[in-house]
Amino acid sequence: MRRIALAAAAALMLTACGSGGGSAGQELSKEPVTLRFTWWGADERHKRTQQVIDLFQKKHPNITVKGEFKDWNGYWESLATTVAANDAPDVIQMDELYLASYAERGALLDLGTATKHLKTADFDKSALDTGIVKGKQYAIPVGLSTYAIVANTDLLDQFKIKLPDDGTWSWDDFKKAGAEVSKAGGGKVTGVQSFGFDAGSLNIWARQNGAALFDVAGKVAVPENVLASYWTFIKDLAKSGVSPAPSVTIERAGGPLDQSGTATNASVFATWWNTQLTSLSAASGSKLKLLRLPGESQASSPAAYYKPSMFWSISSRSKHPAEAAVFVDFLANSEEAANILLTDRGVPANTKIRAAITPKLGETDKAAVEFLDTIKVGTAPRVTPNGASNLEAIIKRHTEEVLFDRLTPEQAAKSFIKELQTEIDGA
């Protein structure tokens, strides 16, 4: 038994040998090459992506790309396992929450070494910077999105309530507008669906208060009193009936998009990423409008920011880094590919591509692009530090504790900072 144990442990040590960002061989092979490419998503994305793969293979007859699509949860289990076994796919769709966790541990290729095949000239520097970890470009942003309020104008018309002016409104105005709706909605419709279950809302709140969730070094930097005010506001929304009862709020926040209050026309205001407007409009069948965040005009500098919807990255242990770079270049820069993908992975971060596809978009997608183009943003927050990949789960749990009076906002603030910092220190 002991011998088996040692042998097994030895095998693990051997397989997990990569210790950091290999570099891309620059020469393309003339031999047939097979790349594995993995992404998460729903059926629509699988279809479009496969078409892009087919197109790429036509242009590069010696490269075969095998697409491996997964659902979100399965994706991360599967990716972690394959990376552990030194068997990771070559091209990896990456999320902001996990980027540093994989990059800092050496699982991703430094794309700076692949510039021969992978061009980034058409990207804004601020967008590209979101893919930088510890000074190296480990990932290329695919799409950009920004946090916004989605308002159901059909319901507002029905209740004869005026659409608030999103150029000047404060969080108080937001609450007042919501209260008006809740009153008119008679229990069936509430003003605000839910707020405070994701990193977007917390980032915005911290930035409007002149703070940041993390400092440059990756330590938790948000002060306790800012966090406490965040949870006080959330609790206030629930207590005053602006948002539904806690259990209902949590249910809607935790469910898939189609079951949210916005999608089922059960609430008028809700926070979303601007790129979700199309999905929400289709699901609700109502007229929805993107509004700028409350409190922006009171804040000293814009708290809104561009968040990459996802990234392209390459495994550091890929046997064909040059070909993988060629493929990522195609995904990121080809107008033909973009014409197929459109906004499925968010509004393209590549500005040239964005301009090229905009005329081809539907009405709601156009609205989302326009919103993104016109909003005032500050510099993007630091990438989620290594070890904090469960950030959203921690936020969500603390919001639940506050809503159900198990923690006061002050206790939640203390506990949140302690837990999150412990996770980062442990990584």
Site for another protein in 36-65 (CB under 8 A): 36, 40-47, 50
The nearer residue to another protein, 2 or 30, going by C-beta atoms, is 2
> Which of 29, 62, 240, 245 forms a contact with another protein (CB under 8 A)?
245
397 binds another protein (CB under 8 A): yes
276 binds another protein (CB under 8 A): yes
Q: How far is the CB of 421 from another protein (least distance, A)?
A: 14
76 binds another protein (CB under 8 A): yes
362 binds another protein (CB under 8 A): no
> Which of 210, 215, 255, 298 forms a contact with another protein (CB under 8 A)?
255
> Which of 152, 190, 284, 313 forms a contact with another protein (CB under 8 A)?
284
The nearer residue to another protein, 116 or 397, going by C-beta atoms, is 397
363 binds another protein (CB under 8 A): no
106 binds another protein (CB under 8 A): yes
418 binds another protein (CB under 8 A): no
Nearest to 205 by CA among 115, 298, 288, 286: 298
Reading the block at residue 136, the tokens are 């190296």
> Which of 111, 118, 242, 283 forms a contact with another protein (CB under 8 A)?
283
CA pair distance 224, 318, nearest whole angstrom: 43
The nearer residue to another protein, 37 or 169, going by C-beta atoms, is 37
> Which of 129, 224, 236, 251 forms a contact with another protein (CB under 8 A)?
251
> Which of 296, 396, 409, 420 forms a contact with another protein (CB under 8 A)?
396
